[in-house]
Structures are given as C-alpha cells and as structure tokens.
Amino acid sequence: MKHYILLLFTLIIYSTTSAQNEVDILRYSQYQIGGTARSIGFGGALGTLGADYTSVSINPAAIGLYRKSVFSITPTVYFANVDAKMGDNTTSGFKDNFNLNSYGLVFVTQTGSKNGWKALQFGIGVNRTNNYNHTTNIINDNKETSLMTDYIQQANGTHPDDLDPFSTDLAWYNWLIDTIQGGNNTYFSDIENGGVRQELKKRNWGSVNEMALNFGGSYNDVFYIGAGIGFPFARFFEESEYSEFDAADTIPYFNSFIRDEYIETHGNGVNLKIGIIVRPTGFLRIGLAFQSPTWYNMNDTWNTKITRYWDDGTNDKKSSPRGEYNYDLTTPMKLNGSFTLTIARFLLISSDIDYVNYSSGRLSARDYDFFDENAKARDSYKSTVNLRAGAEIRLRPLSFRVGLQRYGNAYNDDINSSVKYIASAGLGYRTRDFFLDLAYSYSINSSDYYMYNPDLIDAASLEIKENRIALTAGYKF
C-alpha cells in the first residue's frame, strides 16, 4: 500500500511537470494567416481589404465592406517536406493533408438610409490558423553520448522506486541504466558514452481552427467598425519512435532499444476582437485592430514505452501508465495595423503588420502554479513583428495576385529560430453573383532540433518546406 501511494504521488508530480511547458505556449501562440484562396494569394495582407472572410478574422471592421450577403468555402491541399541534416546523415520526411481551410457566411442588412449607418453586417464562419502536419526523420552516429546519458543525469540521487514512470523508470526496468553498488543512488549505463546509431521518426498532425461570430457596420462609407468573438479549437497529436542500436556490434549484451512516445492534446478557447477602418480618400483605407489573449482550456494525454533488445535475440519491454492532465493556457494579445491603396481602380496594394509578445503567454492550473515553466517562457521568448504584403491586378472578370509574408523570430537566443517566409500567387474569376479563386503558397523556415539535452548532443538542422493549394468558391445573394 505504501509503495502504491508513493507511485501515485510520483505520477501526479510528473504529470504536472513533464508534459506541459513553454513549448506548448509557443505552439498555440504562433499562427499563420491562411483562410480563403484570395487571402493566400494576397499574402494574407487583408486587414483593410474587406469583403473576404479571412479579412474579417484579421480586423472585424472589414465585415463592414461587404455590400451583399456571401457564402464561401475553401478546400485546401497541404503537403510538407522536412529535411534533416545531422553530421554526415541527411534524411527527409513527407506528409500531406486535405482540409477545409475556411468557410463562412456573411449577412448584409441595408438600413435604407442614404446617410449615416447605411448597412449592418453579421458573419459566422471558420478559419484555420495552424497546421501541425509534419513528419521528421533524423539519423545520427553518436560516438560520445546516448539518451541514457541524459537519463542518468536525471536519475542520479533518486531511489529506483521514485524514478520518472515516463522515462527513467522504463530504462531502469529494461536494464538500460542501473545503480552502482554502494553508490548512493548513482546510476550508470553500458551505452552512456555513445558508440550507437540514433534514429528518430516523429509524426505530427492536427490543427487550430477558429470559429468566429462577427458584427459590424459602415458609416457614410468612410468609417467601418466591427467586433467579434472567436472560439478556437486546438488539436495536436505527436507520435515518435526514437531508437539506438549497436551498429558496430561492440557493446556487450546490447543490441538496441526503442522508445515509443505518444501525446494527444485537445483544447477549446475564446478570444475577443475589435477593429476600425477609415477611408480618408477614395483610394486609401487604413485599419487598426486588437485581439485579446486567447484563453484555452487544455487536456493532454500521453504515454511512453521502451523496448530493449539483447544480443541473444530476446527483449524486455515496459510501458508507462497513461498520463492525463487538464490545465489552462493563455496566448499573447495581438495588435494589427494595415492599409490598402487603390491605384487607377485596377491595382490594389495592401500591407499588414502584427505585433505579438510571445513572452507574455502563460500556463496555469488549480493544483500547480507552473512558476518555472512560465519563467522559462519569459526568458526564452520575445516580442516580434509579423509582416504581410500583397498586390492584385484586376482585369475583369479576372484578377491576378501575389503576396509575401514574414513571421518574426519568437526566440531570445541564437540557438533557436522561428523566422518563416511565405511566397504566394493566385488568380480569381468574378461575376455579379459568383466568384472562384485559386492560390498557391510556398513557405520555408529553418530550425534546430535536439533529440535530448542540448548540453549532451548536437542539434539536427531542419529545413521545413510547406506547400498549399487552395480553391475558394463563393456565392453572393
């Protein structure tokens, strides 16, 4: 009974400290403007463009630019390549996904007034802001350390009965680490000094989709105001297989081990948006919008299994218990400024700028204060500016678009980088009551990935290339 209570206490401690951290804050705070095909082709620079459902998600005042009621839907094909280089080894991972990137319905009510508030608008719809579909494969020939080196550092000074049930306890059960006799809970491993080939196969999938309700109106076709409430739904899944094996057959009794990990996150949130657009002249629109923090309620479940293979062909294996934890996550607020310039009625130039302070995100729960994790977020992340620009040439009934986006680095240090560039192009076809848009975007960003403690292993260099093809169909009524 005493051992059971001790195990239960250990599970609670590791459930609150091992699975939720500053990485989760950044994952759900970063975003990418996608949505409709017109938005993608335009580089997401739609804050003051209006009459497009994605523009409403950036600045809710853009709903005031609708003259007629509209329904639109955007199926999208997404595919990503992740190239990984570590030492002399280069690998690649591919994943594709089909989804509905956006669908929305806007109702326009004419007031009948020739002056003042000429029309009122209401909209409801969904936009995708994050796509987590990636496959990462890494190979490394490590002559110096092992994952067990990291586990030894974590385990030293801890009695075997108190080891982490999701990591070090599994290694200890499988004889991958063991105590030194008379060493006062000091651990060793036959592979702690390396000499192993390391492989990681990691598959991520999921998304954040935001359903929004927006209200707005136009005053004398000069002032446009709007407000909205958003309900983002976050879904994230990660499945990883990490292995080490004795490629040179020089380690006695040891052939290999495989660690399988799985994590699943479901989150529901809410945020508020307000915005204003001013048209000082017929060819210029200027906008400003504010989005509150998103307040998420999250649920994580996870488990781990380690299988150890001996030289004689036998194996040992042990699985962790199922971890589960509910907590709250708050993302940073966001400020947006934008303008749209119309030249000779056939050329539109638009630009958006967002300010986000990623260090202000935080975790919270009733039974744990997340003090260390939130402090790590404040130390690791910083404020940044995200830029988007686009242009459209109108040769009715056709339109041609190009766009460019740059999402700034959220990290304080030089070890990590999250700078992301997106180039896009698109075309559109419009009649009085129907429109069809097609767009393609290509993004690239680089980052470093550590398979375990950065003090013990070099980083793998990742180059992530994402492609999107979107088609929007819409009907005005």
- Tens of pLDDT, residues 308-341: 999 999 999 999 999 999 999 999 999 999 999 9
Residue 13 has pLDDT above 80, yes or no: no
C-alpha–C-alpha distance, residues 208 and 237, integer Å: 12
C-alpha–C-alpha distance, residues 37 and 377, integer Å: 34
Residues 6+ apart with CB under 8 A from 101: 34, 35, 36, 40, 74, 75, 76, 127, 128, 468, 470
**pLDDT at position 423:** 98
Residue range 226-247: average pLDDT? 97
**pLDDT at position 240:** 97
- Tens of pLDDT, residues 262-316: 999 999 999 999 999 999 998 999 999 999 999 999 999 999 999 999 999 999 9
Lookup result for tokens 């950036």: 58
Count the residues in the chain.
477
Q: Yes or no: say if 79 and 470 are a contact pair by the CB < 8 Å rule.
A: no
Domains of the chain by start residue, with CATH: 2-145+194-476 (2.40.160.60)
Residue 452 has pLDDT above 60, yes or no: yes
3-class secondary structure, 320: coil
pTM across the whole model: 0.89
- Tens of pLDDT, residues 75-133: 999 999 999 999 999 999 999 999 999 999 999 999 888 888 989 999 999 999 999 99
pLDDT confidence tier of residue 413, bands split at 50, 70 and 90:
confident
Strand residue runs (E) in 282-322? 284-291, 295-310, 315-319
Residue range 31-51: average pLDDT? 93
Mean pLDDT lowest among 1-15, 247-261, 345-359: 1-15
- Report CA-CA distances (Å) from 57 to 48, 210, 297, 371, 427: 11, 9, 21, 33, 21
Residue range 19-34: average pLDDT? 90
3-class secondary structure, 213: strand
Token code pair at residue 155: 């385990």
Task: Give which of 147, 267, 253 is closest to 198, Cα–Cα.
Answer: 147
Task: Give which of 391, 459, 472 is closest to 104, Cα–Cα.
Answer: 472
Residue range 391-409: average pLDDT? 96
Task: Give which of 66, 54, 70 is closest to 126, Cα–Cα.
Answer: 54
pLDDT confidence tier of residue 6, bands split at 50, 70 and 90:
very low
C-alpha–C-alpha distance, residues 69 and 386, integer Å: 31
Averaged pLDDT score across all residues of the chain: 93
Residues 6+ apart with CB under 8 A from 192: 145, 146, 148, 149, 152, 177
